[in-house]
Amino acid sequence: MIMRGTFIATIAALLAVGVAAPASADGPGVSTATITLQGGALSITVPADAGSLGTRANTVGGGTISGSLGQVQVNDARSAAAGSGWVASAISTAFTPPTGPAIAASAVSYTAGTITKVGTATYTANNPASLTGVASAVTATGITGDNSATWNPTINVAVPGGLAAGVYSAEITHSVV
């Protein structure tokens, strides 16, 4: 019994003093770092000056003048939720000469042509027959992530017969939402 008491006292003393037990190595030093990526923008780029869409001789019956507007591009870096979309629209002012009657915007139509795409989406050329009011030109649906679309629209102007000779000009404005 004394032996047993001495053994227990010895163990207790060793534990109190702290027996050197093998030290375990600490794990690697780990640092947590973060970055923040903000959603980008939905934007549209159009030519600043399309120049001449074409020339035709004036006739009693009228006719159509068609020409390329130049490259239009929509960039969508919003990281939009899957299935979302956007609509690119166009509107025109009347084609006005220096003097005399104008060609109404209702006589101006828009054909998107081939759409070159980057990313995942379904693109539709809406080809509005009139640019009197804001008209949907190209629509993107079923978007997954960032995307872009580029096209070179043809502007068609139905010229009535009997107008004065001269240079007629209009402003065609694009927007995207």
CATH architecture of 41-50+58-161+168-177: Sandwich (2.60)
Owner of token pair 């008209």: 135
Question: Structure pTM?
Answer: 0.78
Tens digit of each residue's pLDDT (9 = 90 or more) over 49-108: 888 999 999 889 999 999 999 999 999 999 888 889 999 999 999 999 999 899 999 999
Alpha helices in the chain (DSSP H): 2-17
User: Residue 46 and residue 152: Cα distance in Å, rounded?
Assistant: 10
Tens digit of each residue's pLDDT (9 = 90 or more) over 125-151: 999 999 999 999 999 999 998 999 999
User: Residue 86 and residue 140: Cα distance in Å, rounded?
Assistant: 5
User: Residue 169 and residue 158: Cα distance in Å, rounded?
Assistant: 14
pLDDT at 24 over 70: no
Strand partners, 24: none
Tens digit of each residue's pLDDT (9 = 90 or more) over 101-112: 999 999 999 999
